C-alpha cells in the first residue's frame, strides 16, 4: 500500500465573490478544525481576488491555500498576470499549472508549462501539474502515450519531486459527469509514476474530472490514487468535505 499522504485539492475556477467565497472558506475551515490533526492534506484554490481574505480565514485550520495559475516571470510587463512570488506573498503554498482549460482556451503548451513549473518551484510552491487526454486520443488508443509525453514535456529539466503533484484529468471527463473506470485511472497513474522514474515513488498522483461524492471513495480506495482535484463539487462545503473524508 502507498504511504504517500492523500491530497484533496479544490479548484474553484472563476467562481466566488467576496461574501460567498469567504463563507465557503469559513465552512471548510470549521470542518477541518473539528478533525485536526487532519489525516489528509486539503488545499483550496480560489480566484486570485479571494486569495488574501481566504488566507486569513484559513489561518490555524490546517487547510492550505493555492493559486490557479502563475506566470513564468518574477515581474514585468505582463498585464493581468500574477507571479509565483506574488502568490507566496499571499500565503499560497500550492499552484495549479497546465489545467486543460488553460491549455485549450489560452493555447498554453507543454514548454510554457515547464517554464511555469520551474518558476513556481523556485519560489517555493508545490506545483500541481495537470495532464490528460482528449476523447479522440482515447478513442484512437493512444491515451497513455499522449499523457506520458505531456507530463514529461511539462516538467523542466531540473525539478524538485518534493514540490510536485501530478493531476490526471482526462479532458473528456471534466464537467461531463463521466469518469473512467477505476482500473483505467489506476493504469494511467502507474504509467505516470513509471515515467517519473525513481522520483515517481514519492510524487503524489491525484485524479480529477467530474469527481463527486458518489465516486470519490471508490477512486481513492485504489493505492495508485493519492487524492483528487475537485472542481464543481468543491463549491459546496458539505459536498467538498464529504469527498475529502473519503480519503481516510
Query: Would you please indicate which residues are annotated as catalytic (active-site) residues?
Result: 99, 169
For the record, the C-alpha cell of 102 comes out as 488553460
3-state secondary structure the chain: CCCCCCEEEEECCCCCCHHHHHHHHHHHHHHHHHHCCCCCEEEEECCHHHHHHHHHHHCCCCCEEEECCCECCCCCCCCCCCEHHHHHHCCCCEEEECCHHHHHHHCCCHHHHHHHHHHHHHCCCEEEEEECCCHHHHHCCCHHHHHHHHHHHCCCCCCCHHHEEEEECCHHHCCCCCCCCHHHHHHHHHHHHHHCHHHHHCCCEEEECCCCHHHHHHHHHCCCCCEEEECHHHHCHHHHHHHHHCCC
For the record, the C-alpha cell of 156 comes out as 523542466
Residue 51 · residue 88 · CB < 8 Å: no
Residues 6+ apart with CB under 8 A from 149: none
Integer Cα distance of 24 and 58 in angstroms: 11
Amino acid at each position: 500500500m502507498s504511504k504517500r499522504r492523500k491530497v484533496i485539492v479544490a479548484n474553484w475556477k472563476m467562481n466566488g465573490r467576496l461574501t460567498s467565497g469567504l463563507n465557503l472558506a469559513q465552512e471548510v475551515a470549521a470542518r477541518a478544525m473539528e478533525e485536526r490533526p487532519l489525516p489528509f492534506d486539503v488545499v483550496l484554490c480560489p480566484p486570485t481576488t479571494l486569495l488574501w481574505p481566504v488566507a486569513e480565514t484559513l489561518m490555524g485550520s490546517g487547510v492550505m491555500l493555492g493559486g490557479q495559475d502563475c506566470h513564468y516571470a518574477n515581474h514585468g510587463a505582463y498585464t493581468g498576470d500574477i507571479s509565483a512570488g506574488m502568490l507566496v506573498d499571499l500565503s499560497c503554498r500550492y499552484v495549479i499549472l497546465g489545467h486543460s482549460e488553460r491549455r485549450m482556451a489560452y493555447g498554453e503548451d507543454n514548454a510554457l508549462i515547464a517554464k511555469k513549473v520551474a518558476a513556481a518551484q523556485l519560489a517555493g510552491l508545490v506545483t500541481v501539474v495537470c495532464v490528460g487526454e482528449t476523447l479522440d486520443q482515447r478513442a484512437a488508443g493512444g491515451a497513455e502515450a499522449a499523457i506520458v509525453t505531456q507530463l514529461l514535456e511539462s516538467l523542466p529539466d531540473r525539478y524538485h519531486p518534493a514540490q510536485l503533484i501530478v493531476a490526471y484529468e482526462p479532458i473528456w471527463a471534466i464537467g461531463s459527469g463521466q469518469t473512467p473506470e477505476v482500473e483505467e485511472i489506476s493504469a494511467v497513474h502507474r504509467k505516470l509514476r513509471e515515467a517519473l522514474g525513481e522520483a515517481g515513488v514519492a510524487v503524489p498522483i491525484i485524479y480529477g474530472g467530474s469527481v463527486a461524492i458518489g465516486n470519490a471513495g471508490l477512486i481513492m480506495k485504489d493505492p495508485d490514487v493519492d487524492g483528487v482535484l475537485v472542481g464543481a463539487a468543491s463549491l459546496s462545503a458539505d459536498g467538498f468535505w464529504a469527498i475529502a473524508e473519503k480519503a481516510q
